């Protein structure tokens, strides 16, 4: 179930669902998603669905990984991207093949440690990790050309807006319970523009690091 044919079926489905960035599709084709889930779930790794990774977290649906990556890159290549929510490391691995540098923040240390090991195994070495509170971002290394948030916030964290470079793009799910919207926020000369991109379903963005 981790065969090339299974992966090709996933890529075809993503294309049919509207993902059109050829670079994003190629990176998802070659990234071994089965390495980012428990062995017992490896046979489902190339289904277009979120899967549990423990600690009440999930590995994001491939469509959502592709769509959010595509939105970040919509205006051209990016040098410096911050990811809020390392999780399994799958979105991190995809991003690291699309942008020059990734700075990934995760509050659950055991998940981030596993993700680090997977990225080393795949020889993806342009990622720097921080164990900490995603609501705070990573101010010491700001500003970022792109920020991607892989958990739903009740509102847009001011700290993340502050850490966005001029012209920078923030892709973030916002809402609570069943009502969640994916937003694209761009830092303009005179403030921020916002686009609502549709309904989504993510685990909550929580405060405070956990060992």
Query: CA-CA distance, 84 to 164, in Å (whole number)?
Result: 13
Query: CA-CA distance, 104 to 58, in Å (whole number)?
Result: 16
φ and ψ of 111, to 5 deg: -65, -45
Catalytic positions: 60
Q: Which uninterrupted H or E stretch holds 29?
A: helix 22-30
Residue 185 corresponds to which tokens in the numbers above?
Answer: 């926020």
Any idea which residue has 């979105």 for tokens?
91
Q: Tell me the pairing of strands 144-149 and 80-84.
A: parallel
């Amino acid at each position: 179930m981790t065969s090339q044919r299974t992966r090709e079926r996933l890529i075809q489905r993503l294309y049919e669902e509207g993902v059109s960035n050829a670079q994003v599709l190629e990176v998802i084709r070659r990234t071994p998603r089965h390495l980012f889930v428990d062995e017992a779930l490896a046979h489902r790794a190339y289904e277009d669905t979120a899967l549990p990774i423990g600690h009440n977290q999930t590995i994001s649906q491939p469509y959502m990984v592709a769509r959010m990556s595509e939105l970040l890159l919509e205006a051209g290549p990016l040098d410096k991207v911050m990811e809020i929510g390392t999780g399994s490391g799958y979105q991190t691995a995809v991003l690291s093949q699309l942008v020059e540098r990734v700075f990934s923040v995760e509050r659950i240390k055991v998940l981030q440690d596993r993700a680090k090991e997977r990225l080393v195994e795949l020889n993806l070495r342009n990622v720097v990790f921080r164990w900490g509170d995603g609501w705070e971002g990573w101010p010491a290394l700001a500003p970022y050309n792109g920020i991607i948030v892989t958990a739903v916030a009740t509102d847009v964290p001011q700290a993340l807006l502050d850490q966005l470079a001029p012209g920078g793009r923030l892709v973030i799910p916002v809402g609570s319970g069943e009502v969640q919207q994916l937003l694209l926020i761009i830092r303009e000369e005179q403030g921020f523009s916002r686009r609502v991109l549709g309904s989504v379903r993510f685990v909550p963005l929580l405060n405070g690091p956990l060992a």
